[in-house]
Every structure is written in C-alpha cells, then in structure tokens.
Amino acid sequence: METLLLYLPFLVPVAAANLAERHRRSRYVTHDPRLNTLIDVGLRYMPYGLLITINVGLLGIAALVLVNELAKMLIPDLVDAQAVAVNWWGVAAACLLTSILAFLPLFPAARRGLARWLPIDPDSPVHTTALAFAVYQIGLSLGQIALIGNLETLTDAELALSIWDVLLTGVPLALFALVGVGLFIRRDGRSTLERLGLRRPTWKQLAAAVGITAALLAFDFCTNLVWEGVAPASYDLMERVTENLFGNLATVGGAIVLGLSAGISEELLFRGAVQPRLGLLLASVLFAIGHMQYGLTVATLEVFIIGLMLGLIRKRSSTTLCIVIHASFNAAGVLLGMLWP
C-alpha cells in the first residue's frame, strides 16, 4: 500500500497534461472572457509548473544529501558505527543529473530536436510530460542502484515479495498507462482501448503466442546456461537475489498472479502507452530500467532484448498479444522453476 501511495502524487502532472492537451485541441469556453483567459493560462502552464516543482524537489534532495555527507566528513562522530554503508554520493549525483536533464523537455527547441527521432508532437504537453517522466525513470532507477549498492545487499535484505505486493506493484503502472493516454479526460473507453492497442486476438494469433512464449523460454534457458558457464559467481549471486525476492511466489497461485500482474500492467504501460509515443528502442530501454532489481547484469540485457521482441509484436499485432505472451512467460518460468529447481 505504501508503494501505491508513493506513486499516486506523480499521476497529478500526468492528468494535468491531459487536461491541457484536451484544452489545446478543444478549448473550454465560458460566458466570461476573463474566466476564459484564466482557464487558458492555467491549463497551458500547469503541466510545466508541476514538472518544474518535481525537478526543484529533486534538486533539494540532492542538496540535502550533499550537506549530510559533507557534515559526516567534517564531523565523523555523527556517523553511526552500526549504520549500513550507502553510496549517498551516487544518490545525490543521480538526483542532480535527473533534475537537470528533466528540465530539457521543457524547452521547445529540445522537443523539436527530439521530434526528429521520436514520434512526438513538440507542442503537446502530454508528450512533454512523457519525456520528463522517461528521464525520471532512468535517472532515479540509477539512483536506486546507488542506494542499494551491490547485489550482495539484496541477498540478505528482507525483501521477499508476497502475492499482495505483486498485485499492488502492478496497479500504479496500469494507472499511469490509463491516465497517460487520457482515459475519461480526453478519451472515452473505446478510443482508450484503441490507443493502447488492446484488440481481441484471433485463434491464429493465440497459437502464435504459444510458440513465441516457448521461444522466449528457450532464449531465457540458453542465456542462463551461457551466463552460468562464463561467470558462475555472478550467476549464483543473481540466483540468490531472485530467490530472496520471489521465493515466496514459487506456488501455482504465485505464478498466476506474477504472470497476470506483470503481464497486464507492464505491457499496458510500456508497449501500450509508451512505445507509440517514444518509439520501440526507448520503450525497451525504459522496460529494462524498470527491472533494476537485477542491477546492471546479463539479466538486464536479457530483459531489454525481450522488450524489443515484445515491441515488435506490438507493432505487428497488438498489445493484447504482448500481454498474453508476457503473462505466459512469467507464469511458465515460475512453474518450471518449481519442477526443476
């Protein structure tokens, strides 16, 4: 529940951007000209004001961390001998760089430059917000790595996920996808489904999904086999991290919940909402970054490649098929791990 509450405030600028986008395409008009001017100015600049507030907040966090670290250097007695070592300098650097880079999408010239490479409208507040949030995800995920430190930390930490944790983790992602494309703000239910690429699959597509899932499982098996042979220590460490995080989900119920929760929420966000706007490559990078519990390892590269494959399926078919494949892959992976530990 804490995770859900942590994400909810970030939905505000997303919703505000969609309100501004709706106003840009079809202006809200009243009988009072002064009120019309107030609405126009407010909706036009509200998304940018909210993004600036987030950026300034990140700068403040970076400043507080730096002051804290400088204080500990000048007064070593402030440091608790039993405290867990944390790379706070890395956290501060991540917050600082994220804040600075997240200001770039606020400049029209920067958006026009990115529009040469990405399918965005430089004048759209929704696309501006999407670019800023892409920066947030990449920068803050790297900050998370600095905060956690090496993967050895995750092998001993009490981070075992329950079924309830998995369900709540998926809710914010799904909400960002739905609000991000403007559900009930500038799109009705039908047009939202179309924008997200949610279409009923044919039996032929479902049969293809079975084959693609089997191919992805084979790819995962071969990757792990090579990884274990080339770098057994690194592979063993990742196995222990995975066991610590997902060990409680090694049940039939856990496999189903993990498959459906991740398959639905992640595909709605990354393939459904993000990819048509930010492109296949960047959406796949963001998808991999979203799995930073693996650190920067072979597993991250594997997730990126799988993201590319799912992205190609999204382009040629639908997000629905991506959900079926992703959910089946996750669930089958857990079930196979139970049969052949």
pLDDT 10s per residue in the chain (341 long)?
A: 555 667 778 999 999 999 999 999 998 888 888 999 999 999 999 999 999 999 999 999 999 988 887 877 777 665 554 445 567 788 888 999 999 999 999 999 999 999 999 999 999 999 999 999 999 999 988 887 777 666 666 666 667 788 888 888 899 999 999 999 999 999 999 999 999 999 999 999 999 999 999 999 999 999 999 999 999 988 898 888 888 888 888 899 999 999 999 999 999 999 999 999 999 999 999 999 988 766 678 889 999 999 999 999 999 999 999 999 999 999 999 999 888 76
Rounded to whole angstroms, the Cα distance separating 90 from 79 reads 18
Which residue, 105, 120, 149, sits at the end of a domain?
A: 149
Q: Domain check: are 131 and 178 in the same one?
A: no
Supply the pLDDT for residue 79: 57
pLDDT of res. 263: 96
Residue 128: Cβ within 10 Å count? 26
Asked whether residue 324 is domain-assigned, the answer is: yes
Report yes or no on 279 lying in a domain.
yes
Domain that holds residue 87: 1-149
Map tokens 């995770």 to a residue.
3
Are 324 and 181 found together in one domain? yes
Whether 288 and 339 have beta carbons less than 8 Å apart is answered as no
- 249 and 257 in contact (C-beta within 8 Å)? yes
Residue from 139, 138, 131, 152 nearest 84 by CA: 152
**pLDDT score of 168:** 85
Domain contains 207: yes
Q: Of 149, 175, 190, which marks where a domain is finished?
A: 149
User: Amino acid identity of 94?
Assistant: A
Examine residue 284 and state whether it is found in any structural domain, yes or no. yes
Q: Give the residue among 333, 282, 332 at the shortest CA–CA distance from 307.
A: 282
- Does residue 95 fall inside a structural domain? yes
| pLDDT at site 77 | 63
- CB atoms < 10 A from the CB of 133, how many? 23
Q: Are residues 132 and 191 in the same domain?
A: no
pLDDT of residue 167: 86
Query: What is the per-residue pLDDT for 78?
Result: 57
My answer on whether 169 and 141 are in the same domain is no
- Cβ density class 277-295: b for 16+ within 10 Å, e for less: bbbbebbbbbbbbbbbbbb
Residue 156 lies in a domain: no
Q: In this structure, what are the phi and psi dihedrals at residue 254, rounded to the nearest 5 degrees? A: -65, -40
Task: Answer whether residue 3 is part of any domain.
Answer: yes
pLDDT given at position 85: 59
> CB-based burial of residue 170 (10 Å sphere; 0-12 exposed, 13-18 middle, 19+ buried)?
buried
Same domain, residue pair 335 and 203: yes
CA distance 186 to 200: 23
Does 114 lie in the same domain as 13? yes
Beta-carbon contacts of 109 under 8 Å, excluding residues fewer than 6 positions away, are none
Looking at the fold, whether 192 and 124 belong to one and the same domain comes out as no
Report pLDDT for 242: 83
pLDDT at 149: 64
Q: Are residues 235 and 141 in the same domain?
A: no
- Of 107, 129, 149, at which residue does a domain stop? 149
Question: Each residue of 156-183: pLDDT tens digit?
Answer: 666 778 888 888 889 999 999 999 999 9
Q: Which of 40, 59, 49 is nearest to 13 (CA)?
A: 49
Task: Specify whether 1 is located in the same domain as 119.
Answer: yes
**pLDDT score for 4:** 62
Do 137 and 282 belong to one domain?
A: no
Res 248: pLDDT: 85
Instruction: Quick: pLDDT tens for 188-224.
Output: 999 999 999 999 999 999 999 999 999 999 999 999 9
**How many domains does one find in the chain?**
2
Q: Give yes or no: residues 131 and 175 share one domain.
A: no
Same domain, 66 and 132: yes
Token pair of 303, please?
Answer: 């997730």
Considering the domain boundaries, does residue 155 fall inside one?
Answer: no
